[in-house]
Amino acid sequence: MNFFIIPGNPPAIHFYELWRKEIEQYLPGAIGLSSDYPALQWTSDSAFFMNQVSSHHQKNFENFCSRVSGPVTVLGHSLGAYFSLNLLNECDSKIENVILIHPFLRTPTKRGKIILKTVSTFDRFSLLKNMILKQKRGLQYLAKDLRHVTEDELMKTFPIATHEWNIVGKDNSPLKIPSHHQKKISLYHTEMDTWCSPQVIQELNEQVKVYPCVEPHDFITQESYRLSLLKKILQNRE
């Protein structure tokens, strides 16, 4: 099994790398790659920014495909699910399956809107971002997982939040998956997810395989959740 992971935001590669290694240990012969997010110059053009990020993930994917033999399973978490669907549109012949995990594909819940608007505000003011970086050590007492998020990743979080809000967060259009892609896609979600609304689940349930799970949106930060979700994914692939 070859697999390609596209993280969510914040792009805390530490946790996705842990999951990659766990998958490789659990499945002898499996080869994976966790894609990173690019550091892009500031722009007010959200469509351009998101296209640049998509292109970056596609480049990482194509480089990975050149090093392995056979098709690849793409695992997209949260915002990574949005880029996973873009990748499927561009590289269909190289992709065996796309697994969307708590996908952020359309307007989030009220709580999600508040979070994205708040982080987007920070992105407009360098002073605020610098203050957050200075307080990172103190904030770790409130969120211990934050110590695994690098300053570079933290700084990427702000512009990503700005543009995902403009492109994904404000999108209320119906979610349509091309018929020739539907059999390749499966989705895992938990109830009352901030980023994956019931409307999205309802729309996708009529188009792709949808599996409820107990693992929370931040499953990636805990080994027990990562492994239990992996086992569910493998059972449903059989």
Q: What is the DSSP string of 160-184?
A: HHHHHIIIIIT--S-----GGGGGG
* Whether pLDDT at 147 is above 90: no
pTM: 0.92
Indicate the pLDDT class of residue 113, thresholds 50, 70 and 90: very high
pLDDT digits 0-9 by tens, 74-101:
999 999 999 999 999 999 999 999 999 9
pLDDT digits 0-9 by tens, 165-216:
999 999 999 999 999 999 999 999 998 899 998 999 999 999 999 999 999 9
Written as six digits, the tokens of 199 are: 């409307």
* Whether pLDDT at 142 is above 80: no
Written as six digits, the tokens of 131 are: 């203050």
Q: Under a CB-based contact definition with an 8 Å cutoff, are residues 186 and 208 in contact?
A: yes
* Whether pLDDT at 127 is above 60: no
Q: Report d(CA 44, CA 85) in Å as an integer.
A: 24
Nearest CA-CA partner of 154 in 13, 29, 27 = 13
Q: Report d(CA 133, CA 11) in Å as an integer.
A: 16
Please report the pLDDT score of residue 139 as a whole number.
Answer: 43
> What are the C-alpha distances in Å from 96 to residues 2, 20, 29, 192, 205?
9, 18, 17, 30, 20
What DSSP state is assigned to residue 217? T
What DSSP state is assigned to residue 81? H
pLDDT digits 0-9 by tens, 30-54:
999 999 999 998 899 999 999 999 9
3 state SS of 144: helix
Indicate the pLDDT class of residue 5, thresholds 50, 70 and 90: very high
Runs of H (alpha helix) within 78-222 = 79-90, 110-123, 126-134, 136-139, 151-164, 198-205
Task: Find the angle CA(168)-CA(219)-CA(53) to the nearest 5 degrees.
Answer: 35
* Whether pLDDT at 155 is above 80: yes
3 state SS of 79: helix
Please report the pLDDT score of residue 146 as a whole number.
Answer: 62
Q: Under a CB-based contact definition with an 8 Å cutoff, are residues 120 and 42 in contact?
A: no
- When the pLDDT of each residue in the chain is averaged and rounded to a whole number, the result is 90
Exposed, middle or buried, 28 (CB in 10 Å: 0-12/13-18/19+)?
A: exposed
Q: Under a CB-based contact definition with an 8 Å cutoff, are residues 106 and 175 in contact?
A: yes
Please report the pLDDT score of residue 31 as a whole number.
Answer: 98
CATH number of 2-105+175-237: 3.40.50.1820
Indicate the pLDDT class of residue 138, thresholds 50, 70 and 90: very low
Please report the pLDDT score of residue 136 as a whole number.
Answer: 52
Residue 11 half-sphere exposure toward CB, CA atoms < 13 A: 25
The rounded percent of the chain whose pLDDT value lies above 70 is: 89
Written as six digits, the tokens of 230 are: 């992996």
3 state SS of 32: strand
